Amino acid sequence: MVRFTTTHEITCDQDTFWNKFFNEDWNTKVYKEGLGYTEFTILEQQTESNADILRKVRMIPNLELSGSVAKLFGTNLTFLEEGKFVKETQVWDSKKIPSTFGDKIRWEETIRIESLENNNIRRIIETTFEAKVFGVGGLIENDFEKSIRRQADDSAVTYNKLLLSM
C-alpha cells in the first residue's frame, strides 16, 4: 500500500475552487482537454443537500503505466468514482473503482483546501492506493503512484491556465 500527499497552489479562492470542482463543463475541460481522459461522464445527477454533495462519475483516464502493468489492466480500463463533499468541513472524499481488479484495488482520495494570501488556495490531495494482486501488487502500486502524482500536477496546471483565461 502507498500513501502520499500532493499539494498545489491554485490561483483562486476557496469558493471559486469548489464551484468549479462541481461544474460539469469545467470538469470536461480539465479532464478531457487538460488531462487527456477519453471519458469523464457524470453518471447520476449530482445530489446536494444542506450537509453534502454526492457525485458518481465514470472515467477513462490517461494513465502512463509500464508495459507489464498496462497488459494486466488491458486497453479498456475504466474507473467509477464515487465521492462525497461535506459542506461543514469543506472536504471531498472519493474512491475510484477500476473495471479490472475492482475487488483487488483500493484507490481513495481526500481533497482539502487551505486559503493563502492574495485570494489563492493550496489544494491538498491525500491518496491511498493498494493493489492486492499476488506477485505484482507492488509494481502496480508503484506505477499508479507515479501516474496519480503526474495527474495531480497536470490538473493544477490546467486549473490555473483555465482560471487565468477567464
pLDDT digits (tens, 9 = 90+) for 42-83: 887 789 899 999 999 999 988 888 888 888 888 789 999 999
For 24, 158, 162, the CA distances from 8, given in Å and listed in that order, are 22, 12, 15
**Number of domains the chain is built from:** 1
Cα 165 to Cα 30: distance, rounded to the nearest angstrom: 13
DSSP letters for 45-79:
EEEE-SSEEEEEEEEE------HHHHHHH-S---E
pTM of the predicted structure, to 2 decimals: 0.93
CA atoms within 13 A on the CB side of 96: 22
Say which CATH number the domain at 53 has: 3.30.530.20
Q: Do 65 and 45 touch, CB atoms closer than 8 A?
A: no
Domain span at 29: 2-164
Query: pLDDT digits over 93-138, tens only?
Result: 999 999 999 999 999 999 999 999 889 999 999 999 999 999 999 9
